Amino acid sequence: MQDQEQSTKQAAPATESPGAATQDWLQDPLSGGAGAAPGGSPGGLDPASDGIDALLSEPRPQGQRSMMQKTRDLKAATTVAQRIVSASKGSTDVEAYFPRLSERFGLKHIGWSDMGTPGASLDIQVNPKAQIDASTLMLNKGTVTGHDLQEVNFASNTLGGSTVGVHMRAAPIGPSHPQGGPPSSGALSTLMAKLPTDPTLPAKDKYIKGHLLNDNLGGPGTADNLFPITAQANKEHEAQVESYAKKAVNQYGQWVNYEVKVVDKGSDLTKAPKHNWVNADLQCSMIPLMANGQPGGSGGLSRTIQSRSGTKAGAVDHGYTATGLSTLKDKNFDEDKVEWSTAKGDPAAEQVLDPSIATERLVFISRLDSFGFTPSKQRALLGEYIVDINKIQAHSILDPDYDLQAAMGDTLIGAHDNPAVPIGQWNKAIGALNKKASDISGLLMEMGISMGMKNASLAPSDRDPGGRAYLATLKASISATKLKLR
């Protein structure tokens, strides 16, 4: 179990009921024991005299809690729960307090583990983390029939003196996943010291620690969930696979089977770091569960991300055929309760455009090119409708291949003694676009459609790609509301 996991388990003591049918109440939790005592107090417990009623009636402080505050709440909830368990006669007596305990201490989960066995316990979690048992990552309980327990399996190997993850299989995983985190500083440290990692290198030439299970899906920053891939491959993995998985689980509340397998494509770690390399394929698949709880829902994918040193990473789409049945959505889904990564974006990683912008811009750019807008006129047009857009942001929207290295080459981001500075400037610019992703993608669509419809209405003789009057006519057809990033 990880050191930061905010969870605890309280053993549930056995009590005996009179008569020949005496048995451990944990062996038959549905029998419930004696139930509520006269006067309505569960199991004869007097919450008033014990101070429990007053404590549970206190309002919980509002606002985001620090890790220390969560730890305190966890300890307090544990103490109160132990008193309740000790004084109760059956599981139903204890369960009567679950809603109040959860509300008072901000619990994410409270429930029984291993019921019907001698090791039965009460599991209390404030902000659940991954529970590691051998190679299995056990996550908190969900609500899918037949899939009450999320399970993520990891397999690891050794490369360049470090443990690396080579296979992750989540079957299934849903929106109640725990909180993940960025790569730990010690993970893969021996291996990464043998590879080019300078943040100012082109994305195709530098290596980063790539998650198999994305940290925003509960993936830990431990070695068995990390493999070295090029920064370019990491961008492709995010754009072609991870963004879809995060949207399905964290935004739509769906349950999916999700798998990432590393396939070795050779390596050389015998030279100086700048000349060493590791090549690999990430074979990825996501299969949404159907309404009957079985895999095969719509919206799945099967893709291979190719990480190759010195070359632009590729993505091979293997297609996916859905059964046509509706996709299952968690009935208790609450987007506000989804556990996103502890990292608000890894400061050492180059951010990429939100998939909604990246997809819509391709259609937008194609239209502008067909109308004869030069690159400078495209940027000028974009600047008229995103009034405070800067050059980095404009280039990023209008050029799918534009990245940090290109921005530095254009001197839009200057060189600096501290490699983190250019990345910080880049991420700030891209982050501002991603915060307005839905607005920007909608704007690009509206602008493109308006000009496309106007172009279609013109007589062929009036269509003069690149002509000043023609472009002015197309621009005049746009009625979109102008957008501000700040």
> Looking at the predicted structure, is the pLDDT value of residue 166 above 80?
yes
pLDDT greater at residue 287 or residue 296: 287
> Looking at the predicted structure, is the pLDDT value of residue 3 above 60?
no
**Amino acid, res. 64:** Q
> Looking at the predicted structure, is the pLDDT value of residue 117 above 50?
no
Residues 94 and 165 in one domain: no
Residues 287 and 419 in one domain: no
Residues 385 and 322 in one domain: no
Q: Distance between CA atoms of 343 and 185, rounded to whole angstroms? A: 13
Q: Which pLDDT score is estimated for 58? A: 77
Q: Distance between CA atoms of 74 and 8, rounded to whole angstroms? A: 8
Beta strands in 60-192, from DSSP E residues, in sequence order = 109-113, 121-127, 131-133, 136-144, 147-159, 162-173
For residue 416, name the pLDDT band (cuts at 50, 70, 90). low
Put residue 196 in one of left, alpha, beta given phi > 0 → left and psi -120 to 50 → alpha: beta
Asked if residue 486 belongs to a domain, the reply is no
- 7-40 pLDDT, tens digit each: 444 443 333 332 322 222 222 222 233 333 323 3
Asked if residue 159 belongs to a domain, the reply is yes
Residues 109 and 140 in one domain: no
Q: Distance between CA atoms of 173 and 176, rounded to whole angstroms? A: 8
| Average pLDDT rounded to a whole number, residues 414-443 | 77
- 144-153 pLDDT, tens digit each: 333 345 778 8
Structure token pair of residue 441: 């993608």
Residues 92 and 114 in one domain: yes
Q: Percentage of the chain with pLDDT > 90?
A: 31
Residues 165 and 188 in one domain: yes
- Among 307, 337, 367, give the residue marking a domain's end: 337
Residues 114 and 149 in one domain: no
Among 247, 153, 129, 198, smallest CA distance to 404 is for: 198
pLDDT greater at residue 43 or residue 303: 303
Residues linked to residue 101 through DSSP beta bridges, in sequence order? none
The answer to whether the beta carbons of residues 422 and 413 sit under 8 Å apart is yes
SS3 state at 177: coil
For residue 138, name the pLDDT band (cuts at 50, 70, 90). very low
Q: Which pLDDT score is estimated for 27? A: 27
| Average pLDDT rounded to a whole number, residues 371-375 | 93
Residues 370 and 447 in one domain: yes
| Average pLDDT rounded to a whole number, residues 57-77 | 71
Residues 164 and 250 in one domain: yes
Asked if residue 120 belongs to a domain, the reply is yes
For residue 127, name the pLDDT band (cuts at 50, 70, 90). low
> Looking at the predicted structure, is the pLDDT value of residue 460 above 50?
yes
- Among 337, 367, 402, give the residue marking a domain's end: 337
For residue 41, name the pLDDT band (cuts at 50, 70, 90). very low
- 197-256 pLDDT, tens digit each: 988 888 899 999 999 999 889 888 889 999 999 999 998 998 889 988 988 888 888 888
Q: Distance between CA atoms of 118 and 26, rounded to whole angstroms? A: 7
- Total structural domains in the chain? 3
Residues 367 and 304 in one domain: no
* pTM listed for this prediction: 0.50
Asked if residue 343 belongs to a domain, the reply is no
- Domain residues for the domain of 194 are 131-337
User: Beta-carbon neighbour count of residue 446 at 10 Å?
Assistant: 16
Asked if residue 483 belongs to a domain, the reply is no
Q: Which pLDDT score is estimated for 326? A: 59
- Among 127, 150, 174, give the residue marking a domain's end: 127
| Average pLDDT rounded to a whole number, residues 252-274 | 93
Residues 274 and 231 in one domain: yes
Residues 151 and 266 in one domain: yes
Chain-centroid distance of CA 30 in Å reads 37
CA 226 to each of CA 203, 209, 415: distance values in angstroms, whole numbers, following the listed order: 18, 6, 30
| Lowest mean pLDDT segment, chosen from 88-92, 98-102, 130-134, 396-400 | 130-134
The answer to whether the beta carbons of residues 262 and 166 sit under 8 Å apart is yes
